[in-house]
Copies of this chain bind each other. A is one copy, B any other.
Amino acid sequence: MCKSTCADQKGTEELESKIGKIPLIFRELAERDPQMYDFSLKMDNFIWDDGAITRKTKKLIAIAIATSLRDQHAIRAQMAGASNLGVTSEEIDEALRVTYLLAGMPAYVAGKVAQNEIMGE
């Protein structure tokens, strides 16, 4: 049996294919704050859609932003789905170097630590 999220099953699967992996906490939002989940799901599906730039490039952008904000959870959440979208470790290396330039060495290092844990490199 399902409550609020049944209708969103399709939207959830669609989003997973776009971002590689949906973080558990986002899935739990479907029960905890269904309206917020519903709006976020639509917004996310819109934002992550292939368009002028591919979802793979969007993933690299998201990793770089999360790293620049030194947000440990966001870095891991974004990196977790990266390989499913075909993002390579070399591409992340280069995105993190841009992070170094614009946000400093500790931001770069935070990215490298997570990359090592998640992508086994």
Chain A positions within 8 Å of B, measured between CB atoms, are 23, 25-26, 28-29, 32-33, 35-36, 39-40, 42-44, 46-47, 51-53, 57-58, 60-62, 64-66, 68-71, 73-74, 77, 88, 90-91, 93-95, 97-107, 109-110, 112-113, 116, 121
Contact = CB atoms under 8 A, between A and B. Distances in A.
Q: Which of A88, A91, A103, A112 has the most CB of B within 10 A?
A: A103
11 contacts: A32-B112, A35-B46, A39-B46, A40-B100, A65-B98, A65-B103, A68-B69, A69-B103, A73-B109, A103-B103, A104-B104
Give the number of copies in the complex: 6
Q: Which of A58, A62, A69, A105 has the most CB of B within 10 A?
A: A105
